[in-house]
């Protein structure tokens, strides 16, 4: 191979931007760089069977991928996989560039670094042994049903922990109840034993749903979590805990397109007087026309899931013979829509994680 070709293959240092869910590197692949996280969050995990072992979450200011540089026994291969949990930026430093920096250090300092790396490698190996049974695989009634990042028990535990911790240690804030990340970590990791990556993913979901806001603390760090509606957290906890004991045919299952339909029905009802009545008749011809024009392919048939649970009733044709309206149980829609939105967001997270398998 020519020198020119070798240089072409040599890894370059620089800034890399990662989208949510994007893989930075995979377990077992050849390593040629380490990374410094500029902003965002990266999840470290290790494939195991049809699932994953969740290792940790790294944030801004932390280094990732450095162990492969010191790993003579592993042949410089990645010992786990890494993916972005949110939009993130990392500075990539190639091993050749890092080697030049190391060569300039005093011999005694290099000895200290290599010793620390060796000890950390041994500790990591021991941790992996202890975590070997922590793979998030759902066996249900004894039959393997595939990988789940969030199991129902995870969601119940996290929501219950959040509600109790906010009620016990939360402080009044202008937009809700505030809790510092340090207190949350104490309860979630040390007391409840919740895996860090699952806790962080849940915070992302709750932030997207405007149930939690993240503010800077007195040190200017984004570590103050403000819960805007504790009653909603409590109702989500009750919903999931109730669903856990239902048979499969009784559990609430609403497709994403059905959810979109229900969200639009809810918006229409906000402008309708006297909607506290059990049944409201909502025009839908305009919605169907817009979806058809945008080629979103949402039709009346997608309300079948909602109809099965009594959220909507029959679809009626107007006196003109062409306009359509649907019967909507206002109270059921009001109570169940937030649960549906949260449930489908959790399902979406599971699907995204399982697609990495």
State percent of the chain over pLDDT 90: 50
Segments of the chain scoring below 50 in pLDDT: 1-8, 73-74, 130-134, 139-144
Contact 109, 41 (CB under 8 A): no
**How many angstroms separate the CA atoms of 117 and 109, rounded?**
12
- The verdict on residue 239 lying in a domain is yes
Last residue of a domain, one of 224, 248, 272: 248
Residue 34 included in any domain: yes
- Are 231 and 303 contained in the same domain? no
Can you tell me the distance from the alpha carbon of 333 to that of 335, in angstroms, rounded to the nearest whole number? 6
Burial 229-251 (b: 16+ CB within 10 A, else e): ebebbbbbbebbeebeeeeeeee
Q: Is residue 1 part of a domain?
A: no
CA 206 to chain centre: 9
Residue 139 covered by a domain = no
Query: What integer pLDDT is reported at residue 277 of this predicted model?
Result: 66
Element at 348 (helix H, strand E): helix 330-354
* Torsion from C-alpha of 280, 281, 282, 284, nearest 10 degrees: 150
Answer with the one of 225, 248, 271 that is the final residue of a domain.
248
Q: What angle do CA 350, 351, 357 make, to 5 degrees?
A: 95
Task: Give the pLDDT confidence score for residue 6 in this predicted structure.
Answer: 42
What pLDDT sits at residue 138?
53
Both 225 and 261 in a single domain? no
**And the tokens for 341?**
């939105």
User: How distant is the alpha carbon of residue 168 from its chain centre?
Assistant: 25
Same domain, 291 and 331: yes
Give the CATH number, domain containing residue 64. 2.60.120.10
Domain that holds residue 200: 152-248
On whether residue 32 sits in a domain, the answer given is yes
Say if residue 34 is in the same domain as residue 125. Answer: yes
Q: What is the number of domains present in the chain?
A: 3
Residue 172 lies in a domain: yes
Same domain, 195 and 265: no
Q: Could you report the per-residue pLDDT of 49-102, keeping only the tens digit for each? A: 777 888 888 888 888 887 777 765 445 788 889 999 999 999 998 888 888 877
Two tokens, residue 251: 């559990």
Residues 48 and 69 grouped into a single domain: yes
Q: Measuring CA to CA, which residue among 33, 27, 32, 157 is closest to residue 92? A: 33
89 CB-contact burial (10 Å; exposed 0-12 / middle 13-18 / buried 19+): middle
- Look at residue 144 and tell me if it is in a domain: no
d(CA 267, CA 269) in angstroms, rounded, equals 5
**Are both 212 and 285 inside the same structural domain?**
no
3-class DSSP state for residue 342?
helix
Considering the domain architecture, whether residues 104 and 194 belong to the same structural domain is answered as no
Out of 218, 248, 278, pick the residue that ends a domain.
248
Where residue 188 sits, what CATH number does that domain have?
1.10.10.10
**Full DSSP string of 3-72:** HHHHHHHS---EEEEE-TT-EEE-TTSBP-EEEEEEESEEEEEEEETTEEEEEEEEETT-EES-HHHH-T
Q: What is the pTM of this model?
A: 0.73
Q: Under a CB-based contact definition with an 8 Å cutoff, are residues 342 and 324 in contact?
A: no
pLDDT of residue 2: 43
């Amino acid at each position: 191979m020519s020198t020119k070709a070798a240089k072409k293959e040599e890894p370059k240092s620089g800034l890399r931007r990662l989208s949510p869910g994007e893989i930075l590197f995979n377990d077992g692949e050849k390593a040629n760089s380490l990374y410094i996280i500029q902003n965002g969050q990266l999840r470290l995990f290790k494939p195991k069977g049809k699932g994953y072992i969740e290792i940790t979450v790294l944030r801004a200011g932390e280094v990732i991928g450095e162990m492969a540089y010191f790993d003579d026994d592993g042949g410089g291969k990645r010992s786990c996989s890494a993916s972005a949990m949110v939009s993130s930026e990392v500075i990539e430093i190639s091993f050749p560039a890092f080697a030049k920096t190391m060569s300039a250090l005093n011999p005694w300092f290099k000895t200290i670094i290599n010793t620390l790396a060796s000890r950390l490698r041994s500790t990591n190996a021991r941790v992996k042994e202890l975590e070997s049974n922590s793979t998030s695989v759902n066996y249900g009634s004894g039959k393997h049903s595939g990988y789940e990042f969030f199991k129902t028990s995870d969601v119940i535990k996290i929501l219950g922990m959040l509600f109790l911790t906010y009620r016990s240690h939360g402080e009044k804030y202008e937009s809700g109840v505030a809790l510092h990340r340090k207190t949350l970590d104490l309860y979630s990791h040390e007391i409840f034993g919740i895996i860090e990556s699952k806790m962080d993913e849940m915070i992302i979901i709750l932030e997207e749903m405007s149930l939690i806001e993240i503010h800077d603390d007195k040190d200017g760090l984004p570590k103050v979590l403000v819960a805007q509606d504790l009653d909603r957290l409590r109702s989500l906890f009750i919903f999931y805990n109730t669903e856990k004991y239902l048979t499969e045919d009784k559990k609430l299952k609403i497709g994403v397109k059905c959810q979109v339909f229900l969200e639009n029905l809810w918006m229409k009802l906000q402008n309708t007087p006297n909607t506290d009545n059990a049944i409201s008749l909502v025009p839908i011809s305009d919605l169907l026309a817009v979806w058809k024009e945008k080629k979103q392919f949402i039709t009346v048939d997608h309300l079948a899931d909602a109809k099965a649970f009594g959220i909507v009733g029959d679809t009626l044709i107007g006196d003109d013979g062409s306009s359509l309206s649907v019967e909507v149980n206002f109270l059921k829609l009001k109570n169940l829509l937030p649960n549906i939105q949260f449930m489908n967001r959790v399902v979406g997270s599971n699907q995204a994680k399982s697609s990495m398998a």
